[in-house]
Amino acid sequence: RTATMDAFAKKIQKWWRNIFENCTARIVDSFLAKLPSSEKLDGATFESLVVQLKGKHVIATAKACLQRIHVLATCRHGSPPDATLPQTVNVRVFLASLMVVQFPSRVLENVGPLEQRLIDTSARVLSSFYGICASLRAARCFRDVPPAITVDFPGLLLDYLHAFKEWKVCDEGRLAGRINGALRVLRQARQVTPDDRLDMAQEIDLQIERLRGKLVLIAGPNALEAGL
């Protein structure tokens, strides 16, 4: 009876493994159908790529593919120190790497050390990710994908996420500074607005409130009191 149960359990395990692997291959197929590769996006404009990457189906498909590959690579090779759990990786941040690689001058105001690191890590993580996708599409199951292709992905993804976070914090600080400067100019203009120009005063007040709202979104409520 025990031998029969063991044989049945092995069949169930094999059946489930085949379903999981077939599902993985279909997820990769679906992702590549929407975003074939970073190189094949060369014909896209910055505006069209932004619209495409905001699409619900693209985000959902990319999330499923990223999480599946991240989980499988992590299970195979282990996690790098301070790694992020696969289910907590922000897929929008990952997709931003496509815009960084394709249109660095549109995404980045200038290219210093932080920006160059972001460009480099974006290119490396995309190359690794699409390499795994291509191998999975050919092999149809993860266990047949050579370990040499998957071993670097968890670390490359972590490097990219760290680079993106460092750049974002710095970039938001610069943007908050510019908004605060614009607020000072608008407040000065409001002080010297003639009393009989109510329309001008209302427009300035509206712009001030809009910029204050943006400042709160970028730097938090304390930014208004701190006067960044």
pLDDT (tens digit per residue) in 15-68: 445 445 558 889 999 999 999 876 666 678 889 999 999 999 999 999 999 999
Confidence of residue 10 (pLDDT cuts 50, 70, 90): low
pLDDT at 16: 47
pLDDT (tens digit per residue) in 168-179: 888 778 777 877
Burial of 107 (0-12, 13-18, 19+ CB in 10 A): buried
- What's the per-residue H, E or C state across 201-219? HHHHHHHHHHHHHHHHHHH
pLDDT at 11: 54
Q: What is the mean pLDDT of the chain?
A: 83
In this structure, the number of other CB atoms found within 10 A of the CB of residue 118 comes to 27
In this structure, the number of other CB atoms found within 10 A of the CB of residue 226 comes to 11
For residues 175 and 144, which has the higher predicted lDDT (pLDDT)? 144
Cα dihedral: 72, 77, 83, 88 (round 10): 10
pLDDT at 28: 94
Confidence of residue 138 (pLDDT cuts 50, 70, 90): very high
pLDDT at 207: 85
Confidence of residue 228 (pLDDT cuts 50, 70, 90): very low
- Cα 171 from Cα 45, distance rounded (Å): 23
User: Three-state DSSP class for 195?
Assistant: coil
pLDDT at 195: 79
Buried b (16+ CB within 10 A) or exposed e, 6-15: eeeeeeeeee
User: Average pLDDT, stretch 89-118?
Assistant: 92
Structure tokens at 22: 């077939």
